[in-house]
A and B are shown apart, each in its own frame.
Chain A
Amino acid sequence: MACASAGKRDMIMNQPGHGGDVPVAKRRRCVEPAGAAAAGIPEDIVEEILLRLPVKSILRFRSVCKSWRAMVADPRFVRLQLDHSTTAARHRPPSMLILADCYPGHGVAADFALGMTWSSSPVATADEDDVVDWDAVDDGDDDDNLDDAVDDGDDADDNLDDAVDGNADDNWDINDGAIGLGGALHYNGLVLLSSMENSSMLAKNAELRSNTFRANCNRPAQKLQAQLTDETEEKQSKNRVSRNFRT
């Protein structure tokens, strides 16, 4: 079992969004022999526990002892915590808001949202001439997540991938009828905005790149934003049509 101590860190740290670049050797540098060791819990496990706490608790626990305080104050911990909360967020079912412009005949994303919201059909309700291949949404897998629609190429923007590309276990299938129509303008998940006249933005990743596109995740620790081309905030907010649905 000589290799036992090296691998665990590698495995956890190599999770997407989990700070895989942290060298294993640096992991224990803020360890003090006192503290959790007294209860037989190694410092690195304590750290893993702290990483799973809400920020409020983490801040409060600076007052537990010197070693916990040092651990929390370590910039590396802060980065891991951010990565961790981002990763964890992706494993919860998000509520989702899709916003798009409302130029006549071009509210594809809005129609997309409507289609997702009111129908379990994978076929979009949009009937514009720039309607995209919605079959991409339904490829017959049992993990028909929305990411199938937007993540069908490896050239996708990384941020966007992070925002929408959960694993199959996420289980926020858009086709299983689990999505209800939300009332309030509430979201804690992915927001897509498009103000391009030709807003076939969910078509293909290639098109995602070329169209004006914004992905904005409004979870507390996950405010990542991807803006692929220049676009003014005013134009987006002025033109948006919104629908809200959550699983």
Chain B
Amino acid sequence: MATGSGAAAAAADAEEKESGSRMITLTSNEGKAFVVTEASARQSATIRSMVDDGGCVDKGFPLPNVDSKTLARVIQYCDEHGNKEAHTVDERAALAKFDKDFIAELDADKAFLYDVTMAANYLHIQGLFALTTQCIADTIKGKTPEEIRTAFGIEYDLTAQDEEEIKEEDTHA
């Protein structure tokens, strides 16, 4: 490393290593702090863009829309996907298995599943959002409109004319 460029490269390496091992603090709306690796936090596009913009890394990120229970679960997903490699078939299979178990567990508690979905949306964690919305879709796809209204707490507000029009659309389809 006698040359100038060599030293610069070494410095850049060191810097990269440092940023790779940086820890980031996420704070739930209850004020509970969660310390995660930067790789994990970068699963969230929201946080990623703020980190890249040189934002408040040291101060941490308050997340006023996410409670501790939900954040803990979201971080569980981010840790798995952010800190683990997905280069080989085995690694990808391991992640897929994690996703499967992760969503199966969430599926058992629908209200929590919705919370995690909204947190994933808010934090822009694409993989998690796709996972949870697909799970919800799979759950509701065979249901009747009435069952949907019950599940989502939706009030029936269609008029007889609306119903008539839908029937008409069906016959033309």
Number of B residues whose C-beta is below 8 Å from A?
Answer: 48
**Whole-angstrom CA separation of A46 from B151 in the bound complex:** 12
Check if B45 is an interface residue, CB within 8 A of chain A: yes
Distance from A81 Cβ to chain B, minimum over Cβ atoms (Å): 12
| A25 in contact (CB, < 8 A) | no
User: B140 within 8 Å of A by Cβ?
Assistant: yes
Contact A171-B163, Cβ < 8 Å, known A38-B155, A41-B152, A42-B118: no
Contact: B142 with A69, CB < 8 Å? no
Residue-by-residue, is B154-173 near A (CB-CB < 8 Å gives 1, otherwise 0)? Answer: 11111000110010011001
Tell me the complex Cα distance, A62–B49, Å: 37
B42-64, CB under 8 A of A: which get 1 and which 0? 00011001100000000001111
Nearest chain A residue, comparing its CB with the CB of B87: A142
Whether the pair A69, B162 counts as a contact (CB closer than 8 A) is: yes
**A44 and B120 alpha carbons, distance in the complex (Å):** 13
Main secondary structure, interface of B, reads helix
Instruction: Assess whether B145 is in contact with A63, with CB atoms less than 8 Å apart.
Output: yes
Interface size on A, residues (CB 8 A): 40
B89 lies within 8 A of A65 (CB):
no
Nearest 9 pairs between A and B by C-beta? A52-B137, A39-B153, A38-B153, A63-B145, A8-B124, A57-B141, A64-B145, A39-B152, A48-B133
Listed in ascending order, the chain A residues whose CB lies under 8 Å from chain B are 1, 3-4, 7-8, 11-12, 34-36, 38-42, 44-46, 48-50, 52-54, 57, 59-66, 68-69, 142, 169, 171, 173, 176
Residues of chain B touching chain A, judged by Cβ–Cβ distance below 8 Å, are 45-46, 49-50, 61-65, 86-89, 92, 114, 117-118, 121-124, 126, 129, 133-134, 136-137, 140-142, 144-145, 148-149, 151-158, 162-163, 166, 169-170, 173
Assuming A57-B140, A171-B92, A176-B89, what are 20 further A-B pairs, CB within 8 angstroms?
Answer: A3-B50, A4-B124, A8-B124, A35-B152, A35-B154, A35-B155, A36-B153, A38-B152, A42-B118, A48-B129, A49-B140, A52-B133, A53-B141, A59-B170, A61-B148, A63-B145, A63-B166, A65-B155, A68-B154, A69-B166
